[in-house]
Amino acid sequence: MFVDTHCHLTLLDLKPYGGDLDAALQQAREGGVSKFMGISVDLDDHIALSEIAARHADVGYSVGVHPCEDAVTMQRATVEKLVELAQAEKVWSLGETGLDYFHSTEFISEQKACFARHIHASQIIRKPVVVHTRSAKHDTVDIIRAEKSTHGILHCFTEDWETAKAVLDCGYYISFSGIVSFKNAQDLRDVAKQVPLDRVLIETDSPYLAPMPYRGKTNEPKYVPYVAKALSDVYDKTVEEIGLITSQNFENLLKQN
């Protein structure tokens, strides 16, 4: 019923499961999670993620380089390499890419160039691009527009309505994480209320940003229904309805070309 559209399966804290990722995924399934998209932060992540996806029919993954990586790592993500890696059937998206000026402004030009290459690869391969933005909303929107990117997700959304509307107008989906459930996130919930329901996705971004009532603890895919719960209050829908709607939205995104 619920799709975790953004989880870092290679970074999860598996101590509660004796180091067994399969057990963690199974517990999430028992809580209603029916699909998982494992996210890469480095090109080499595809090795482990492809092995995970091969074992689990309900797991797909992305290929790409996070904007917080160093310049040399970002330079490895050429359009040709991204397209090559993204040919695999279980690769559902490119990324996570984007811009992050919060953690570093040292490699801004490299971040922008790498972001553009991910978009170009996504356009060639006709798979969505997963976009991260932090302290860089204007440049992020500018690049999406300039590169005519129409097929993507602005993940872990925490920005204002102006930013949301800009990427929605480009054809993007908006993905909400556990942040939308935080008590001090009313402004974000007010923005979420304006996002059309057919363009909303949910995610954990695990192992980060656990939703209420687990805020401050290590996050994992089994908590994605709590994100749906926060949005059910926003949209005046049941948790189950939010789960079904966002799951269908994800299927629509993957079918888009």
Q: Is 236 labelled as part of a ligand binding site?
A: no
Q: Is 8 labelled as part of a ligand binding site?
A: yes
Q: Is the pLDDT of residue 234 over 90?
A: yes
Mean per-residue pLDDT, 228-233: 98
End-to-end CA distance of the chain: 24
> What integer best gives the mean pLDDT of the chain?
97
Q: Is 96 labelled as part of a ligand binding site?
A: yes
pLDDT tens digit sequence for 128-151 = 999 999 999 999 999 999 999 999
Share of the chain above pLDDT 70, in %: 100
Q: Is the pLDDT of residue 90 over 90?
A: yes
pLDDT tens digit sequence for 61-85 = 999 999 999 999 999 999 999 999 9
Confidence of residue 256 (pLDDT cuts 50, 70, 90): confident
Structural domains of the chain ordered from first start: 2-255 (3.20.20.140)
Sheet with strand 91-100: strands edge to edge: 2-7, 33-38, 59-63, 91-100, 129-134, 152-154, 173-176, 200-202
pLDDT tens digit sequence for 179-190 = 999 999 999 999
Q: Is 46 labelled as part of a ligand binding site?
A: no
Q: Is the pLDDT of residue 257 over 70?
A: no
Give the E-state strand segments of the chain in sequence order. Answer: 2-7, 33-38, 59-63, 91-100, 129-134, 152-154, 173-176, 200-202
Mean per-residue pLDDT, 200-207: 98
Q: Is 138 labelled as part of a ligand binding site?
A: no
